[in-house]
Amino acid sequence: MAVEAKELKGTQKGTQKGAAKGEARCPGAPTTQEIIAADKVAAPKWVRSESYKFLGDEEISTDRYIEPSFAKEELDKLWTRTWQFACREENIAQIGDYQVYDLGPYSFIITRVGPKDIRAYYNACLHRGTKLRASGSEGCASEFQCSFHGWSWNIDGTNKNVVCDWDFPHVDRKKLSLPEAKVEVLGGFVFINMDPAAPPLAEYLGPQFKAHFDAWKLEDRYVYLHVSKRLPCNWKLAIEAFLEAYHVIRTHPQVAVSNADANSQYDVYGEHVNRFISTLGVLSPHLYGKHTEQDILDQFTLGDSGALGGSSKPTVSEGGSARQVMAEMFRGMFEKATNTDLSAVSDSELLDCFSYTIFPNFFVFPGISLPMIYRFRPDPRDHRKCLYEVLFMRPVPLDGKRPEPVEPIHLRDDQSFKEAAGMDPGFGAILDQDTDNLFLQQEGLEASAKHGLTLGNYQEVRVRHFEKAVEKYLAMDAKRPDIERLPSR
């Protein structure tokens, strides 16, 4: 006999009309914290906390998504001042290893100079400006030699050679080092910032979120799949599509059966970080009374399903819950398949969707079943397009052997995410559904007689928080990198 899905009645406050702005929550549903508190293996402190703040309810102007001039201002003001994820540390494991990181017209050679010394050189020859390494490339360099006239630099950035230097008596080679952006490494992620006056990364992130990040120990994970694709919209629209679970019931109806969407939790931390927690293995409040616990289990979508080896889902026993069955099954099978120890990992960390963003363009999902990194970058040639990347991470095996970094898969614009080898088909379908909306949203905003977005006070607070940060940087003066103003080493 089918077990009717549990409808945990919550103790929600503020569901009544007339509650203070931002205080209302999904009526008749448990909170995210109540769902997690009922788990068998208890969640850590960073999960069991809330940090919502009402940030206003005025409209968000739409010129920011459709005007080329806005995109130009972002390149001059926002991208030149903010911390950006450039590459994983393991991609430049040996001295001389490098990866080229591009943002709009800007380009950097991220290279390892010593065990703890990573640099980000502006990727241009100081002679006549040729890129020293092609965009999208990586390798190991003995030197950075320009392919045009052969001026070259040591990997520590000092000038190595000026061909026919007798013709350049006006050039002081001691001052001819490659200019650098600031670099910091956190959890195995190499971050760079073009602004010499930028605050340290820890200050930029704030102490509360930094404590979360440190608890995840992401330096002990590796990337097992990296997929990129151009999306048919402005980079900010793409980001905002992933900032809320409000869209799940209509955009991803197949997921809603197993996702507490309308009662997800939203938090903001300082100016640059926000998150949601969306519990999985729990029925959507939109669907109460329509599904069994077995339906919930059967519909459970994993970002990392490879670890389950294609096995079928078990049966939920009388009185049991899909969430508990999934937690127990996933823990055991994942440990076995990947040679890892998850005994200290809570049910919530195993199953739930934890979506954090670091402004402007970095998402980290520190859970185990949905273990993604997202990065969004503007297309330098078209403000109505952006480059999206998804990286899936796993804990490094117990034997400590870190697998070799994977080759990124670059999908064409017309390809489905499901076509990327190694991508879970269910997850690929979700990304395709999101992409289809974004194309319509970009065109709709351009066609609309309404010039502002209307946002929900709670479920869409991350969108507002993100756009507030955009507005903060856009109010500043242009700050393009200038070698005269960069500190010399």
Partner 1 sequence: MLNLAELPPGTKKAVDVNGVAVLVCNSNDRLYAVSNICSHAHEKLECGRMSRGWIGCPVHGARFDLATGRAMNPPAKDPIATYPVRVVEDWIEVAAG
Contacts with partner 1 by CB under 8 A lie at 94, 97, 132-143, 145, 147, 404-407
Q: 301: which 2 tokens?
A: 């979508």
Q: Minimum Å distance from CB 98 to partner 1?
A: 8
3-state secondary structure of 291: coil
Q: Minimum Å distance from CB 142 to partner 1?
A: 5
Q: State which residue, 153 or 246, has the beta carbon closest to partner 1.
A: 153
Going through 156-209 in order, the beta strands assigned E by DSSP cover 159-161, 180-186, 189-193
Burial code of 65-96, b = ≥16 C-beta within 10 A, e = fewer?
Answer: bbeeebbebbbbbbbbbbbbbbbbbbbbeeeb
3-state secondary structure of 225: strand
Q: State which residue, 109 or 364, has the beta carbon closest to partner 1.
A: 109
Q: What is the DSSP pairing of strand 97-103 with strand 138-140?
A: antiparallel
The CA dihedral of 290, 292, 295, 301, to the nearest 10 degrees, is: 90
Distance from the Cα of residue 369 to its chain's centroid: 16
Q: Minimum Å distance from CB 154 to partner 1?
A: 13
Distance from the Cα of residue 370 to its chain's centroid: 12
119: Cα within 13 Å, side-chain hemisphere: 21
Length of the chain: 489
**Contact yes or no for 440/251 (Cβ under 8 A):** no
